[in-house]
Amino acid sequence: MTATPSVLPDTHNRLNRETLVKWAPLLVLGVLLLLFPFFEWLEDFRAAKDHTYLVDSRFLSIRNFARIAISASPALMVAIGVTFIILMGSIDLSMEGTVSVCAVLFAFLFLGMGGTMGSWAILAIPGALIVGAAMGFINGLVHVKLKIPSFMASLAMGFVGTGLALLLTGGDRIRVEDEAFRSLLTVRWFNFPIMCYVALFGLLVAWFIQSRTTLGRNFYAVGGGEELAKASGLNVNRVRIMGFTLAGVFFAMGALLAVGRIGIAETATGNGFMFVSITAVVVGGTALWGGIGGVWNTLIGVLIVNVINNGMVVIGLPGWVQDGTLGLLVIAAVVLSTDRRAVSFVK
């Protein structure tokens, strides 16, 4: 009598793999938080002539954690916008241009309407959010109506945004020096600037949209299977346009926090956000093909990226090591999250 092969080992392996993919980003973050203080201690020990070394860690100080949070806040807002797009199985590369044009238009509106938060200039904040939403709406419209791949449509819109910002500024910097607005950075609650709490509030809003609204569930439905979503009666094109519009709003929030951090709006305000945001989303565990992940994954990813950048500066490693490490992390994250047995062709 021939025994029937058991399927339990495959199920067990699948569960192990899913568990690893789910908890790997948090594990990586935890390892980094232990690794950098160790390297810092080792360097101090080697440098000490009498074999004494610093007991207090510069990396684990509250001041350094505040630096990490300040750097992560604008990036988190932009990465959240990217998360909604990737959940649908699309990609958005317009963030740098959108951030730049939102920052520049905010600065012009703010200064032109009084230049202080106590005047009509406060309307520049919703004005910037509207500009971001408009950029995202046009981005989604071009993608859906003209049937252009999302990465190409968004990349083109990013160039448009950067060009528009350059046209408006003529290459100059616009300073926003109002004390009330700059309090995003200068005023601290429990040792952390207000901008960190604004970013936390934005994260909670994004989580509510993702998990408690029909739109958020539709993002997962489209990313999980577009044809199935269409068969169930979902207007996929409308969901995609709304997703790009929502992403534009979060890009604008990132722009506001970026201006609040340095007090300057310019064409280069959006530089670097493409690499940081997409890296953070992928490293955080959100699948590139859609339907898996979310904004909490993105938070972990943003923290990983910024902890690596900060920690390597603290221990004195050059920038190319930081970029190389992040690149390897992205490859590892994609390898872990991709079932290559089910993928016959890599696009």
Reported as a pLDDT band with limits 50, 70 and 90, residue 60 is confident
Per the domain annotation, does 93 fall within a domain?
Answer: yes
Average pLDDT in the chain? 86
Q: Is residue 230 in some structural domain?
A: yes
- 328 lies in some domain: no
Instruction: Confirm whether 11 is domain-assigned.
Output: no
Q: Identify whether 2 is part of a domain.
A: no
Q: Is residue 240 part of a domain?
A: yes
pLDDT tens-digit readout, 77-96: 999 999 999 999 999 999 99
Number of domains in the chain: 1
In a domain, 184, yes or no: yes
pLDDT higher than 90, residue 295:
yes
Domain for residue 212, yes or no?
yes
DSSP string over 228-281: HHHHTT--HHHHHHHHHHHHHHHHHHHHHHHHHHHSEE-GGGGTTHHHHHHHHH
pLDDT tens readout for residues 161-199: 999 999 999 989 999 989 999 999 999 999 999 999 999
Burial of 159 (0-12, 13-18, 19+ CB in 10 A): middle
Q: What domain range includes position 189?
A: 74-271
